[in-house]
Chains A and B, each alone.
Chain A
Amino acid sequence: MTTEPRASSKAQVHRGAVDPVEALAQTIDRLYREHHATVYRLALRYGSGNEAWAEDVVQDVFLTLLDALPSLHDVDHLGGWLYRVTTNRCLRKLRRDRFLDHPVVHACLGPFRDRAVDPPEAQVFARRDLERTRSVLALLPPKECIVVCMHLLDGKSQVEIGQILGFSKSYACKLLARGMARLQRELR
């Protein structure tokens, strides 16, 4: 993958002076360098610090971006699009993990599936209070965890949360209230 300066690759793409495949590779490279930190941070947050989990999400998100790139109109302002895709991808992955961790499913799939063990970096925080916050957040149901984080950390309104996750405003409000109550109770 090329490491040419951003301005150069962008100009080449717009002029169509290079091979389309090469131009696509350059565009995705530039977008990756611009946004991978944000995506990775979101994934780490919802993955409770699990780096492998977060890497999976980052890879999924950028592969999705690669497929969707021809249909995206404004390639230079993909922050909102990546935020929505990353959040939804995390929610889907969390729900899948939660389903697989259900005792019944785990009992059925036990012989065929290795139970994911939290890696050391997810378990160790030097500060006990951060570790406690992480573990409480991990205990929240996926929807509530994501809605609470979107609202408290990213400052999203209930309407925006509903639009990003495909929920109604009232459902987003209900999830938010429930999640916050649970968070307060656990952290107290």
Chain B
Amino acid sequence: MNTAGTDVGESTIARLRELDDAYAARPRSARATDHLRRVLERRALQAPVRTKLRLWPAVAFVAGALLMGVAVRMHASAPEPQTSTSIALEAVDDESGCARLGTGDIVVTGSRCLEDDGVRITAHRPSRLRRAAVDYWLLEGEVLFDVRPRLDDRIHVHAGEASIDVKGTRFVVRFDAEGGGVTLLEGRVAVRVGDAPPRDIASGEHVSWPSLTAAKRGSASTGPGDAPLENLGEPEAEEVGSRRRLTPTPDLQSLLAEVHALRERGKYEQAIARLREGAERLSDPRARQVISYETGMLLERQVRDPERACVHWREHEHRFGGGLYASLVRRSMSRLRCHESKRMETPSALESE
């Protein structure tokens, strides 16, 4: 036989076959055979048990996978901070936790604040914003911005035709189909409407502007290009079932302009006196509410008399309850710690004059 290039003699193969035949002729011992049969029988009877036992790793794996799936699903279904924020002015506290403020389109609907990069946003009503780095566009709604002092990278807030440059302050911006407005609570911001040059406004001041659509309807004589900044204490009068807005009457408008002039000259007490006179003269409850709010802001921001401000705000709450400025008033009272005051007397600040 020639295998793999090696000649193997027939005698070698014959001797191997002979050896193999000798092995084959050897009988197996009966004892070994019986032993092996017993082993096989025992193993055959145990086979189902072993099969069941082998199922346990699979069962454990499936259970683990299910748990992981449930955990992932719960995590995925957790509310996203950008879209489920909510606001309550009472919760605007440095110690309170805010959800992370993301970029892109943001819907603020709830009672928690959003914060990122030193900017905290609190919605006074359901609002839509868009954010890109330091630029914020208020598309609709009313939002309180609380911006920590910044050395660089000013914040720019855009609301319709107006843009607001912010370096560190607190202010409320409102914008909807009728127009927009900004109320500065602290610090100083520069507001520019349309092509008009930017104008700094002081704390307590309110600036509003009409929207392009409102201007085109002819409801206002001023367009975005030449719109003068109105120092109106203009509230948004939203009633249940309607969107009736307060249009400042000529009396209220002239009164507010007069008060603004006095405030510009630093004659705050005179401004307060004029407001209280106007409150007695005007019969429109909404106008009285505006005047009351302006009075409180003067006491709080310009006069800086917490006691008088607290008294006034309590009176305001008592008279107007959940009115137009309810949230702002509650925030002011919280900041002034009016609730901790032991003084319970609530003299009628407006009617006593």
Contacts and interface: CB of A to CB of B under 8 A. Distances in A.
For this complex, into which size category does the number of interface residues on chain A fall?
35 or more
Interface in A10-41: 20-21, 24-25, 28-29, 32, 36-37, 40-41
B8 A66 contact: no
Interface string A36-76: 11001100110001010001001100110011000000000
A36 B40 CA distance: 13
Nearest to A52: B32
Contacts of B37: 1, 29, 32
A152 B47 CA distance: 39
Contacts of A183: 8, 12
A37 B8 CA distance: 28
Contacts of A187: 12, 15
A36 B37 CA distance: 11
A8 interface: no
A130 B18 contact: yes
B16 to A, nearest CB: 6
A158 B3 CA distance: 10
Nearest to B47: A24
Contacts of A41: 20, 23-24
Interface string B1-15: 101111111001101
B6 A184 contact: yes
Contacts of A146: none
Contacts of A177: 3-6
B22 interface: yes
B16 A1 contact: no
Contact of B47 (A1, A51, A66, A181): A66
A102 interface: no
A1 to B, nearest CB: 4
A149 interface: yes
A143 interface: no
B26 interface: yes
Interface string A152-188: 1100001000000000000001101100110110010
Contacts of B7: 184
Contacts of A137: 16, 19
Nearest to B17: A153
A129 interface: yes
Interface in A116-154: 121, 125, 129-130, 133-134, 137, 149, 151-153
B250 interface: no
10 contacts: A20-B48, A29-B37, A58-B36, A59-B39, A62-B36, A63-B43, A133-B16, A177-B6, A180-B3, A184-B12
Interface of A: 1, 20-21, 24-25, 28-29, 32, 36-37, 40-41, 44-45, 49, 51, 55, 58-59, 62-63, 66-67, 121, 125, 129-130, 133-134, 137, 149, 151-153, 158, 173-174, 176-177, 180-181, 183-184, 187
